[in-house]
Amino acid sequence: MLATILYSCSSDSGELIGVQGREPWYQPDPYGMLYIPMGSYNMGPSDQDVPYSLTAQTKTVSVQAFYIDETEISNNEWRQFVYWVRDSIAYKIVGEEVDEERYLITTNDYDEDIDPPLINWYEDIEWDDPEQREALSVMYLPEHERYYRRRQFDVRKFKFDFFWINLREAAKRDNRDVDFVYSSDRSKFIVREWVYAYPDTLAWVHDFTYSFNEPMTQAYFWHPAYDDYPVVGVTWRQAKGFSVWRSQLLHNWLRMRGMTLVHDFRLPTESEWEWAARGGLDLSPYPWGGPYIRNSRGCFLGNFKPLRGNYIDDGGFHTVKIWSYNPNDYGLYCMAGNAAEWTNNAFDESAYNFAHDLNMDFQYDATEDDAPAQKRKVIRGGSWKDVGYYLQTGTRTYEFQDTAKCYVSFRNVMTFLGRAKDDNL
């Protein structure tokens, strides 16, 4: 009662007091992610530029606090995405052809039509039901494409539609005119894309010439033996689509429980990735510290291509499990070696010269009609097939956004809401 009286009095006092009764909010740590504090550091090479590529230079940058995945995205985590896309298609088919009332939500709480209808995820698809099995037959390979008459899913149909808001386009001067802002159709800034959900398993074969990698193509993604290995064979656009799906998966869960939303999952910027990889060691060329790639006992500290191609000398061969080797001082695994990682940034040799020193970020949304050089995206960390130079925290190189490689994976980040944890300033 006392609180009610005080609030009533203060609200009638004519003073600016803000909206009262708002609960304090503290961001929970996303599952599988670690908190990286804000900081400033010298981004770029910590050692000599061995190939003299002149693609990076020392630059002092500041990065705000964020979360990052403790490990690279695994095959089994990506499989959750594939199954979600598969089931979405199946729900739509059985809803329209078998039981719409059961599998699709067509009206809201106000008895208003929902178009397109929502999926009722609380109902399980009955794959063995004869009626549903017949309706779902379109999801499988046609008979003339089957191998030994095996009934397998046609993964070419596993397409994921996603949307994102082009804030950079909306922020352009021409779009910030007051009359334009309040009278224009803002849907022009909503970009719709789609990607295949299934990774390119043939990457193990087409990435190498005169090399027997067919066993990896046949088993690497689907076999449980590789569940905890990093997912590879995904393009930059697929990684971006996965990030959108993961964001919506969490946001829908929070909405259902009336909880406050958080920032989206996304690919890291170059500056975020390098800050996390360094683990708080500003001038160290490797995530584990020091200038050496072996420990005091002579053991290699990452999965790469040591010596003159002795791939097993570091304890690996192709990829290894996502928590292999020791983590860096932030607790992150395989920030050097195993699989190289996509970042959100476009690759430009001179980006360090013109990019801002506050949350350094250079983006370019290349279209299919753009020149190949404009489709380059930065990858970091080196991989199991790279020499030691590419394992350095300051080394940057690229792959094209529409190509999938058997040595490139990724991990997500999420911007921290606030300045810092336990911030009482």
Q: Which CATH number belongs to the domain containing residue 317 in this structure?
A: 3.90.1580.10
* Distance (Å) of CA 41 to CA 58, 279, 288: 10, 11, 17
Cα 237 from Cα 215, distance rounded (Å): 26
84 φ, ψ (degrees, to nearest 5): -65, -45
Same domain, yes or no, for 66 and 111?
no
Token digits for 78?
């990506």
Residues 381, 274 contacting (CB under 8 angstroms)? no
Same domain, yes or no, for 305 and 387?
yes
Number of domains in the chain: 3
Q: Helices 75-97 and 236-256 sit at what angle, rounded to 10 degrees?
A: 70
Same domain, yes or no, for 191 and 127?
no
Same domain, yes or no, for 280 and 380?
yes
Same domain, yes or no, for 226 and 296?
yes
Residue finishing a domain among 157, 188, 207: 157
Radius of gyration over every alpha carbon of the chain, rounded to an integer in angstroms = 25
Whether 27 is in a domain gets the answer no
Cα 416 from Cα 332, distance rounded (Å): 17
Residues 342, 379 contacting (CB under 8 angstroms)? yes
Whether 9 is in a domain gets the answer no
Same domain, yes or no, for 182 and 203?
no
Whether 175 is in a domain gets the answer yes
Same domain, yes or no, for 221 and 85?
no
Same domain, yes or no, for 247 and 362?
yes
Same domain, yes or no, for 93 and 192?
no
Residue type, 398: Y
Whether 24 is in a domain gets the answer no
**H or E segment at 191?**
strand 190-196
Same domain, yes or no, for 264 and 309?
yes
Whether 139 is in a domain gets the answer yes
322 φ, ψ (degrees, to nearest 5): -65, -20
Instruction: Check residue 258 and give its pLDDT.
Output: 87
Instruction: Check residue 11 and give its pLDDT.
Output: 55
Residues 328, 293 contacting (CB under 8 angstroms)? no
Cα 233 from Cα 217, distance rounded (Å): 10
User: Cα 237 to the chain's mean position, in Å?
Assistant: 10
User: Cα 300 to the chain's mean position, in Å?
Assistant: 28
pLDDT in tens for each of the 425 residues of the chain? Answer: 555 555 555 556 789 999 988 888 888 999 999 999 999 999 998 877 777 778 888 899 999 999 999 999 999 999 999 999 999 999 889 888 888 888 888 888 788 888 778 888 888 888 888 888 888 899 999 999 998 988 899 999 999 999 999 998 888 887 776 565 566 778 888 999 999 999 999 999 999 999 999 999 999 999 999 999 999 999 999 999 999 999 999 999 998 888 999 999 999 999 999 999 999 998 889 999 888 899 888 889 999 999 888 999 999 999 999 999 999 999 999 999 999 999 999 999 999 999 999 999 999 999 889 999 999 999 999 999 999 999 999 999 999 999 999 999 999 999 999 999 877 55
Same domain, yes or no, for 218 and 176?
no
Instruction: Check residue 13 and give its pLDDT.
Output: 76
What range defines the domain where residue 191 resides? 159-196
